[in-house]
Amino acid sequence: MQDEHQDDDIPRGPARELWRRLYRFALAWPRHLRRVVVFALAVAVADMSFPLVSKYLVDALTAWQTGEAEKPSLWPYALAYLGLTLMLCVSVFGFIRNVGFLKTAMAADIRSQGFARLQRLEFAFFDRRATGWLMSRLTSDCERLANIMAWGTLDMLWASTFLVGIASVLLWLHWKLGLLVLTVVPLLAWASRAFQKRLLTASRRIRKINSAITADYNETIMGVVTTKSFSQEDTHLGQFAVKAAEMRHETVRNAMLSALYLPTVLSIGSVAAAFVMYKGGLDVTRYGLSLGTLVAFLSYTRQMFEPLQQLAHIFGEMQMARASGERILDLLGRPAAIVDSEEVLAAKARAAAAPIDGRADDGLPSRLGRIEYDGVGFAYDSGQASQAKVLHDIDLVVEPGQMVALVGSTGGGKTTLVSLLARFYEATEGEIRFDGVPQKRRSLSWLQSRLGVVLQDPYLFRGSIADNIRYGRLDADPADIERVAALVGATGFIERLEGGFQFDVGEGGTRLSQGERQLISFARALLKDPEVLIMDEATANVDSETERLIQQGLETVLDGRTSFVIAHRLSTIERADVIVVIEAGRIVEQGNHRELMRQRGRYYELHQHQGQQAAGLQLSDWTA
Amino acid sequence: MNPPPSPQSLAPVRAGLWSLSQGQRLRYLLAIVCMAIGIGLVFLVPAVTKGVIDGLPSDPGPFQSPDWLSRLCTSLGIDSPTTGPLMVAAICVVLLTVAGGAFQYLRGRLAAQAAEKMLERLRVHLYRHIQNLPAGYFDQADTGDIVQRCTSDVDTVRLFLSTQVVEIGRALLLVGCALPILFQLDVRLAWISLAVVPVLMVYAAGFFKSLTRYFRESDEAEGAMTAVLQENLTGIRVVRAFGRQDFEERKFDEANGHHRQATLNLMNLLSLFWSCSDFLCLGQVGLTLFAGGHFVLQGDMTLGTLVAFTQYSTMIIWPVRHMGRVLVDAGKARVSLRRLAEILESPEEQELREAPATVPAQPRGALVVRDLSFAYPGEKGPGAPVLQDLSFELQPGQTLALVGPPGSGKSTFVRLLLGLYDYTGPGGAGSIQLDGLELSRWPLRELRLQVSAVLQSPFLFAKTITGNLLVGRPGAAAEDLRQAAEAAHIHQAIEGFEHGYDTVVGERGVTLSGGQKQRMAIARALLKDCPLLLLDDALSAVDHATEQRIRQTLLRRAGRQSTVIISHRLTSVLHADQILVLREGRVVERGTHQELLARKGSYAHLWDLQSSYTTDSAEGSAEGLAQDPAGKPA
């Protein structure tokens, strides 16, 4: 299976620890938990009392028929029966209501925490995981777990209490025969263990394939246009069908194990019953064991079967839940790699206690100021032993208000360099400093508030254009939104759309063209009014005229702001204060346009290329 | 998106389920038979026990073996009076349980096999259908919602198929066995013991309606929640870039809360349902008990009959009560199936097209477009026109370039050429002919075999690089892949990865830069050998030097392949045989590069903009370095 490597990192701790951590979610609702127990007890009491009513009624009728008693009245029995019925119904009502509440509350809590955790995890976590894999954990895994935790636990408690009760009665009635019955317990335990191990393995596989299938559905929708344009439907269907068949295979295997488990437990139990029947029968004929005791013994042994069956069933389900629980706890317990350090947190606490004007939430100046890269290196954690280094020894100083342009071949590390600034990834070597303060000593919230990033891939959220621009500053009013839209030259196309700023862009912004999405994404970043603006190919998909309009708008916007610009059209970057040429993860040249042109190095080469193309190549006749 | 299911819309659901069960019905039947045998065998155990107890003396003495046991012992050749029969009886208990267990196992196995086979079919069917839905469908739908339907709703159906189908058989079996006995025992009491059944049925049926409604609400809330989750995960980089984690958490918590409330409503309804149905069932048992007691007191009935009666009527009432559970699950399954049917009933793209005509024998990539107009379908009919009166002709082997500002309709034209949207629908007009055949008459598969496209935001599948390249030409040799990668200037980068061509890319693969992704897409498109190549801003994230080299490769192919190229870098389009400048969906200028320059219109203006820096500085680099580049007019 191609996805084999994907889930190897899911820890498989001991079951006790797992359940302990999971039951904390139930303990968060102590009132409902208590009610569940009370109602469950009431259900049990009512359930057990029903046979008593019929028994007393039949006894009374028998007594009357044999002439031992008066003709009985049915009313007291009927009333007792009615009372019990009402009690049972009310308890069932209360029980289901509260268990239902616990179940939904637990599922919602786990989801909410899982989602919050996802918001804190670093980019690198998402680079290696398919959206569908993560989705399945918060949807189907979560649902399954909460379900079994709520309904299964109680059944299990009930069943085990019942079992212990029967065992005590048996020992009390006739300890020798009792012990004989209990000899099968180790056998049962051993069989259960063996089955559970297999069930757990099978369940883990099923949950994993479930994730893969979820991811497949997600991917096939996300890539539907590509699939269509290459007529790859059949290939993909074939690959999916393999997974679907595997899912069936594993589920059937799991079901077969469960189906075998139950009869096995019953068969072992029947051995106990057979022992009792044989030995007890002999004792009755030889040593005068009371027949009543034997009858009681046999009926109790038979009664043992029901809780046994139930336990076997729940244990099977529990294994499924455990596999789901492991996946969820893996997410909940995963430490976020990029967080505020202890020191920063302490500073934030101090600053919150005594806020100073003009200071950030970590008590340091709110200005970001001068940016220094000092020997910065970076390697993506590829999940394998060796790591691919994408940046080496980056030394770069950017004064406040400067415009820095990053140029160089694709894959050279330009995007990574600015990603480190925003702390989307953590530099693996060296450090970045703001006005001399190391990046790690500043709070993440402060850093994010100072930066405005226009990403290479302009992802928009479902909703209106106005909502998407407002993402940059949630309290912005419509006038601000229109202002930034005009600034990036987006007003024209927005007004042509049905509903204008209220036009629904569709999931991911698919109802707009790439260029339009880029403009919206640009406007979104400008609305934030950041101190440092990072533009990663922000205008790659717009025409030069639109780009010129944007640049005119930017003139005013960028005034006094530090900015990082990644672009392939050199025209965009000639006016940069610092041009950094990056090749294969290293800075090969650095300086302004004039200096670099004079050096006649790599930048000059790049420049000549474009110059030639623009100026001279129309002469050559390629069109022939 | 989610029209409330109308009663008549259930028919296709039922039909769908029925057709899914093809080939599995026998398995289900066998499972029910196995279950019946299993239950029968297990029921024999108490009979054996009873025989043994009846035969035991109350004081020490010989064991009075029941007839069947004595005969069994004789036939087995056992003649010891007490030990033998007791031993045989004990062994019988074990054997009966084991045999019963074996049938129970078979039942479980057969039911699981049948249910899972049906589910596998359902999953594959869904997957296939989703792939074949028109692209426009996904503009309206939430990915997360579709995924939720394909997983969660399928799971609900699974629960019903794997557990309840056999349970229905079991209930019917028990009722079928117990009913004749009841009527044989006492006809009057038999009718009384059935009194509540119709009430229960009516009650359950009445409940069914609100139950399905509540479940649908809960299910839809789950779909909405999944959609929020999916969108957040897909756009997680934007969330981070804006530090909007708290905002997103609130958004999710809201959806999560809705789902929670909807599920809680369902649970509350269920608690009412169960307690009431318990009341009815227990009432039934009580009614039988006390009516019987009354008959006994009147002397109309023996006590033994009453005891037997109560036992048998319990055998009826609990399966009937269990039918309540079946009904609940059936209600859920029905809602889920309805939601799945909403996907499955959306027509596939090919179904929406005209009857396909015969494909030209040797497609050469000749394109004739006449007065083409198009508007995307919206909720209230077609939206604003995106393309208006576009006309041009492209000879085989020629290159056509489209330039223009964002939203001028360039990408839309590419989508139309790929048959992703239909220009013959309400928002469209005019004609596109590929090799003399109207595009709408081409079978989609055939059409897309003729066209190779590099789209604006390339999508790579979560596979190895080799796997992604093979998408372009399945079965291509490793050497071909390498050549294509070299032509797209991605070969070197691939070699730089630790696992080379076996590196996994896509959603959970290595991080490729935007330019690398584009070049992968180009390599993939180059592998596909076909008469028409579409490049939609395919090199925007690639540096100029690389772009030029790739362009040269493409030019070498010129003549073999007609090309439609969209680019904002005019250097990419200047060699085109024909350049169309689009603005707001209309052609404002057309001609070759030279003609357009000579016209001094908007193309010339764009050209000036793009070449001003470069030409100036390239010319000026020798002498004009004193010029301040930062002071250049923008």
User: What pLDDT score does B508 carry?
Assistant: 60
For the CA atoms of chain B, what is the radius of gyration?
A: 37
Query: What's the one-letter identity of residue A73?
Result: S
The answer to whether B159 faces chain A, any CB pair under 8 Å, is no
Q: Which of the 8 DSSP states describes residue B442?
A: S
Buried b (16+ CB within 10 A) or exposed e, A71-100: ebebeebbebbbebbeebbbbbbbbbbbbb
CA of B585 vs chain A CAs: smallest distance (Å): 11
Average of per-residue pLDDT across B165-183: 83
Buried b (16+ CB within 10 A) or exposed e, A167-182: beebeebbeebbebbe
Global pTM reads 0.86
Pairing of strands B399-403, B578-583: parallel
CA–CA distance, B250 with B254 (Å, rounded to integer): 6
User: What pLDDT score does B248 carry?
Assistant: 92
Task: Determine contact, residues B288/B315, Cβ cutoff 8 Å.
Answer: no
Torsion angle of alpha carbons A610, A614, A620, A621, nearest 10°? 120
Phi first, then psi: give them for residue A443, nearest 5 degrees.
-80, 150
> Who wins on pLDDT, B351 or A81?
A81
With CA atoms as reference, the chain B residue closest to A510 would be B139
The answer to whether B447 faces chain A, any CB pair under 8 Å, is no
User: What pLDDT score does B217 carry?
Assistant: 94
Which single residue is written with the structure tokens 């603005």? B583
CB contact under 8 A, A229 and B453: yes
Q: Is the pLDDT of residue B606 over 60?
A: yes
**Most trustworthy range by pLDDT among A395-399, B22-26, B344-348, B405-409:** A395-399
Residue B498, both tokens: 């630790």
Phi first, then psi: give them for residue B300, nearest 5 degrees.
-85, -10
Query: What's the one-letter identity of residue A330?
Result: D
CB contact under 8 A, B267 and A551: no
Q: How does DSSP assign A118-157, residue by residue?
A: HHHS-HHHHHTS-HHHHHHIIIIIHHHHHHIIIIIHHHHH
Average of per-residue pLDDT across B579-606: 90
Nearest to A469 by CA among A512, A555, A528, A510: A528
Task: Determine contact, residues A520/A465, Cβ cutoff 8 Å.
Answer: yes
Q: Across the strands, what pairs with B453? A: B534
Low-confidence ranges of chain A (pLDDT < 70): 1-9, 11, 381-387, 570-572, 610-624
CA–CA distance, B185 with B306 (Å, rounded to integer): 9
User: What pLDDT score does A9 carry?
Assistant: 62
| Mean pLDDT, chain B, whole residue set | 84
Note the ipTM here.
0.87
Selected for mutation to probe chain B from A9, A84, A123, A139 (highest B CB count within 10 Å) is A139
Q: Is the pLDDT of residue B22 over 50?
A: yes
> Which of A222, A255, A409 lies nearest to residue B112, judging by beta carbons?
A255
> Hey, CA dihedral for B23, B26, B29, B30, is it positive or negative?
negative
Element (DSSP H or E) covering residue A586: strand A586-591
CA of B56 vs chain A CAs: smallest distance (Å): 7
User: What pLDDT score does A515 carry?
Assistant: 85
Selected for mutation to probe chain B from A99, A235, A387, A513 (highest B CB count within 10 Å) is A513
User: What pLDDT score does A1 carry?
Assistant: 35
> Between A and B, how many CB-CB pairs are < 8 A?
620
The answer to whether B577 faces chain A, any CB pair under 8 Å, is yes
Query: What's the one-letter identity of residue B205?
Result: A
User: What pLDDT score does A612 carry?
Assistant: 57
> Which of A104, A218, A388 lies nearest to residue B260, judging by beta carbons?
A104
User: What pLDDT score does B17 carry?
Assistant: 76
User: What pLDDT score does B617 carry?
Assistant: 40
pLDDT in tens, B197-212: 888 888 888 888 888 9
User: What pLDDT score does B619 carry?
Assistant: 39
pLDDT in tens, B302-318: 888 888 887 777 777 77
A-proximal residues of B, 358-387, CB under 8 Å: 376, 378, 383-384
With CA atoms as reference, the chain B residue closest to A112 would be B253
CB contact under 8 A, A410 and B515: yes
Buried b (16+ CB within 10 A) or exposed e, B369-394: beebbbbbbbeeebbebbbbebebeb
With CA atoms as reference, the chain B residue closest to A473 would be B242
Element (DSSP H or E) covering residue B505: none
CA–CA distance, B7 with B334 (Å, rounded to integer): 11
Buried b (16+ CB within 10 A) or exposed e, A458-497: bbbbbbbbbbbbbbbbeebeeebbbebbebbbbbbbbebb
Element (DSSP H or E) covering residue B121: helix B83-132
User: What pLDDT score does A581 carry?
Assistant: 92
Nearest to A318 by CA among A468, A521, A154, A110: A154
pLDDT in tens, B437-483: 999 999 988 899 899 989 888 888 888 899 999 988 888 899 999 99
Average of per-residue pLDDT across B342-349: 89
A-proximal residues of B, 181-220, CB under 8 Å: none
Percentage of the residues of chain B whose pLDDT score is greater than 90? 30
Which residues in chain A touch residue B222, judged by CB atoms under 8 angstroms apart? 139
The 3-state DSSP class for residue A425 equals: coil
Buried b (16+ CB within 10 A) or exposed e, B447-465: bbbbbbbbbbbbbbbbbbb
CB contact under 8 A, A255 and B62: no
With CA atoms as reference, the chain A residue closest to B570 would be A614
Q: Which of the 8 DSSP states describes residue B164?
A: I
The pLDDT-based confidence of B336 (bands split at 50, 70, 90) is: very high
With CA atoms as reference, the chain B residue closest to A7 would be B508
Distances (CA, A) of A531 to A184, A401, A403, A472: 75, 9, 12, 13
CB contact under 8 A, A608 and B618: yes
